């Protein structure tokens, strides 16, 4: 029996040395581990019951890359081209005409407004089952322009380890994203180990319809909920109904979610990912239009939240790359 206990203890020690292997030893990793140990140690005054161990993660720029454009937009643009043969009228109609000619900048020159007809044309009018299949097919075939890898390979290795580490410590991990909830659900389980019911995102209106005598759900071209900025705490209350104890983001769109998380009682954790590695990923922050990190960064500094430098805190950013020593 003594041998068995010794064996189990040696195993526990081995696991601990292997915690977050793609993270460099340093302040960010040390803070994560200290937080997890404090809330899971029954003898700690910071102990949190497993049911309350809710951790929320932004997706774009926090769990996977978001440059040069949000991957869901890349999907929408590709989808317009795929659907174009069935829509001859698009040749005369902006923003579709520019898109079909390959002129993305021209198509989007009207700003975010020009995205709305594109999103409506590519994200509505089909059932949720059909949409899931279309997204999965695209993810299996499309490649990122810089990395020449499938988009799902652009998930950050250290963040996948962090999700696993939190779950191994009794946390329930949720995505709380401004992106479309059904777009993310199409890959979140396979890529992040997060099941569809733990994905919160922006959503369109839907209706129940009978097709061939069977009920299906059809996506409508109208916005139901925008899960960004103030929408993130509102989405958390709507879907989870409990204030998280840990929140992870990378941009000003995550600020309210981090504030809401940190305003609860007891020990809390907030983390921002900084994109500062132009060589291995992209370097942006305050300069960026997509994923702009400005006010949230200032608040993180003022309040002592954890800020991760991708350049110095992460040994490896993507699973496909070699490990930086």
Q: CB 240 → a copy of itself: shortest distance, Å?
A: 4
Smallest gap, in angstroms, from Cβ of residue 294 to a copy of itself?
19
Q: Does 238 bind a copy of itself (CB under 8 A)?
A: yes
Provide CB contacts within 8 A for 56, sequence distance 6+.
Answer: 174, 175, 176, 232, 236, 240, 244, 246, 247, 248, 257, 261
For CA atoms 172, 161, 277, 282, the dihedral sign is negative
In the range 148-167, which residues lie near a copy of itself by CB under 8 A?
none
Closer to a copy of itself by Cβ: residue 41 or 189: 189
Of residues 200 through 229, those in contact with a copy of itself by CB under 8 A are 203, 206-208, 214-215, 217
Task: Identify which of residues 146 and 238 has a Cβ nearer to a copy of itself in the complex.
Answer: 238
51 binds a copy of itself (CB under 8 A): yes
| 280 CA to centre of own chain | 19
CA dihedral 273, 276, 279, 281 (to 10 degrees): 30
Asked if 53 touches a copy of itself (CB under 8 A), the answer is no
Closer CB to a copy of itself, 53 or 275, in the complex: 53
In the complex, the smallest distance separating the C-beta of residue 181 from a copy of itself, rounded to whole angstroms, is: 7
- Contact between 122 and a copy of itself (CB under 8 A)? no
The span from the CA of 191 to the CA of 168, in Å, is 17
Minimum CB separation from a copy of itself for residue 267, in Å? Answer: 16
Residues within window 164-203 making contact with a copy of itself, judged by CB under 8 A: 172, 174, 181-182, 185, 189, 195-199, 203
When binding is defined by CB under 8 A, the residue of 88, 241, 304, 322 that contacts a copy of itself is: 241
Site membership for a copy of itself, residue 113 (CB under 8 A): no
Asked if 240 is part of the footprint of a copy of itself (rule: CB under 8 A), the reply reads yes
Q: Is 133 a residue that touches a copy of itself (CB under 8 A)?
A: no
Report in angstroms how near the CB of residue 163 gets to a copy of itself at its nearest. Answer: 15
Yes or no: say if 286 and 252 are a contact pair by the CB < 8 Å rule.
no
For the chain, the maximum distance between any two Cα atoms, rounded to a whole number of angstroms, is 79
Looking at residue 252, the DSSP 8-state letter turns out to be: G
Going from the C-alpha of 159 to that of each of 17, 243, 256, the distances in angstroms are 17, 21, 21
Rg (CA), the chain: 21
Tell whether residue 237 is a contact of a copy of itself (CB under 8 A). yes
Q: Is 130 in the site for a copy of itself (CB under 8 A)?
A: no
Report phi then psi at 79, rounded to 5: -70, -35
**How far are the Cα atoms of 63, 104, 107, 149 from residue 96, in angstroms, in the given order?**
30, 9, 7, 27
| Partner residues linked to 187 by β-bridges | none
CB of 42 to a copy of itself, least distance (A): 20
CB of 323 vs a copy of itself, minimal distance in Å: 31
Within 13 A of 302's CA, how many CA atoms are on the CB side?
Answer: 7
Using rule CB under 8 A, residue 259 touches a copy of itself: yes
Report which DSSP code applies to 324.
P
Report the C-alpha gap between 272 and 307 in whole angstroms: 5
Which residues of the chain form contacts with a copy of itself (CB under 8 A)?
A: 51, 54, 128, 172, 174, 181-182, 185, 189, 195-199, 203, 206-208, 214-215, 217, 230, 233-234, 237-242, 256, 259-260, 263
């Amino acid at each position: 029996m003594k041998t068995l206990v010794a064996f189990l203890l040696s195993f526990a020690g081995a696991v601990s040395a292997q915690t977050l292997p793609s993270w460099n030893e340093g302040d960010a990793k040390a803070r994560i581990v200290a937080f997890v140990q404090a809330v899971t140690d029954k003898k700690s005054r910071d102990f949190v019951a497993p049911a309350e161990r809710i951790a929320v993660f932004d997706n774009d720029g926090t769990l996977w890359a978001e440059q040069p454009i949000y991957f869901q937009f890349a999907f929408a643009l590709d989808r317009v081209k795929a659907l174009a043969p069935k829509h001859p009228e698009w040749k005369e109609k902006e923003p579709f005409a520019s898109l079909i000619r390959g002129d993305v900048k021209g198509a989007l020159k009207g700003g975010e407004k020009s995205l709305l007809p594109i999103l409506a044309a590519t994200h509505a009018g089909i059932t949720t089952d059909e949409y899931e299949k279309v997204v999965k097919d695209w993810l299996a075939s499309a490649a990122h322009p810089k990395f020449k890898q499938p988009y799902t390979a652009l998930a950050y290795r250290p963040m996948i380890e962090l999700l696993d580490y939190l779950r191994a410590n009794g946390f329930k991990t949720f995505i709380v994203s401004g992106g479309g909830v059904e777009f993310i659900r199409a890959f979140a389980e396979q890529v992040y180990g997060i099941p569809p019911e733990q994905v919160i995102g922006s959503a369109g209106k839907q209706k129940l319809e009978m097709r061939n005598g069977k009920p299906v759900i059809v996506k409508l071209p109208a916005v139901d909920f925008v899960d960004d900025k103030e929408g993130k705490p509102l989405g958390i209350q709507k879907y989870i109904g409990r204030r998280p104890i840990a929140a992870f983001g990378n941009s000003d769109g995550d600020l309210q979610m981090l504030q809401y998380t940190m305003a609860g009682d007891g020990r809390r954790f907030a983390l921002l990912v900084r994109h500062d590695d132009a060589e291995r990923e992209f370097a942006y922050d305050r300069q960026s239009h997509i994923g702009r990190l400005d006010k949230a960064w200032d608040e993180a500094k003022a309040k002592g939240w954890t800020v991760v430098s991708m350049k110095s805190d992460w040994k490896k950013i993507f699973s496909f790359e070699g490990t930086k020593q």
